[in-house]
Amino acid sequence: MTGTSSRAGDTGPGGVPRTSPEALPLSQSLPLPLGHPQTAPVTTARGPAPEGPWSDPDAAFYTVGQVGDLLGVPAATLRRFDVTGAVRPARSTGGQRRYSHRQLEHARRLLRLVDEGLTLAAATRVADLEDTVADLRQQLSDTRSDDGAD
């Protein structure tokens, strides 16, 4: 049999637990919640739907189960990400983990890097460095735009 088994304890590269090969490929973009600003606008019989928490990419409303299903990984993987500090979800008043869309995308990125053979610690560092480079490029672009406006 080829592919990854769904038996408990199976792990992918870097020791991150993985589920069956039918899980959502990490190369696919994750679905956005209905009404998210990057999806088609939601309208009702009374007009546009009101703004909601999904309009903020940092609003934490995905549960650990939802994120696990979307990423094709068990909840244990996400708990490990939390314990190691790779992805720190918010907590509900009842203590349950709640993930934002931004955190979900970050976890997807980490899983892609782990699948490429990096450890979770290395994947976290690479993702942080990629973010730093992107921020610096944006600052450079902004500075160049400001210099050209004078």
pLDDT digits (tens, 9 = 90+) for 58-78: 788 889 999 999 999 999 999
Backbone angles phi, psi at 16, to 5 degrees: -80, 125
- State the CATH number of the domain containing residue 76: 1.10.1660.10
**Residue ranges of the chain with per-residue pLDDT less than 70:** 1-55, 149-150
Residue range of the domain that includes 100? 60-149
Q: Give a yes or no: residue 99 inside a domain.
A: yes
Q: What is the pLDDT of residue 6?
A: 43
Mean pLDDT of the chain: 77
Domain count, the chain: 1
**How many Å apart are CA 75 and CA 87, to the nearest integer?**
13
19, 26 contact by CB (below 8 A): no
In the chain, what's the furthest Cα-to-Cα distance?
Answer: 65
Q: What is the pLDDT of residue 74?
A: 96
Structure tokens at 135: 């921020």
Q: Give a yes or no: residue 11 inside a domain.
A: no
Q: Give a yes or no: residue 132 inside a domain.
A: yes
Q: Give a yes or no: residue 142 inside a domain.
A: yes
Q: Give a yes or no: residue 91 inside a domain.
A: yes
Q: What is the pLDDT of residue 56?
A: 76
Q: What is the pLDDT of residue 59?
A: 85
Q: Give a yes or no: residue 55 inside a domain.
A: no
Q: What is the pLDDT of residue 73?
A: 95
Q: What is the pLDDT of residue 21?
A: 39
Q: What is the pLDDT of residue 1?
A: 45
**How many Å apart are CA 102 and CA 145, to the nearest integer?**
27
Q: Give a yes or no: residue 27 inside a domain.
A: no
Q: Give a yes or no: residue 1 inside a domain.
A: no
